[in-house]
């Protein structure tokens, strides 16, 4: 099984918006939705795991339902650093 791991756990503080940059809408759709869509439509990708900032997990669940991203199997909580987010992603994946 080939699984894509998408790291979207940052807060995007340098962008200066009221939401993390991965959730900023471009042409009416969050940037993260475009990323997930690429893997969703790729024939070699079997599953997707998204590492998401804890405060935005509910928003992510709603986005997954809205766009019918059926390959998103796991959602992991982001960490305080990039490295922690990567580890949370691997730990969540290995636990399942």
Query: For the chain, which ranges sit under pLDDT 50?
Result: none
Q: What is the pLDDT of residue 8?
A: 86
Q: 68: phi > 0 → left, psi -120 to 50 → alpha, else beta; which?
A: left
Q: What is the pTM assigned to this prediction?
A: 0.84
pLDDT for the residue numbered 19:
67
3-state secondary structure of 46: coil
User: Residue 41: its pLDDT value, please?
Assistant: 97
**CA pseudo-torsion sign 13, 16, 19, 20:** negative
């Amino acid at each position: 099984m080939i699984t894509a791991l998408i790291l979207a756990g940052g807060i995007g503080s340098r962008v200066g918006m009221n939401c993390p940059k991965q959730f900023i809408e471009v042409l009416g759709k969050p940037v993260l939705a475009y990323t997930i869509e690429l893997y969703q439509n790729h024939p070699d990708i079997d599953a997707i795991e998204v590492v998401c900032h804890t405060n935005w997990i509910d928003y992510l669940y709603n986005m997954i339902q809205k766009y019918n991203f059926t390959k998103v199997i796991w959602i992991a909580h982001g960490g305080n650093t990039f490295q922690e987010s990567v580890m949370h992603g691997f730990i969540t994946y290995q636990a399942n």
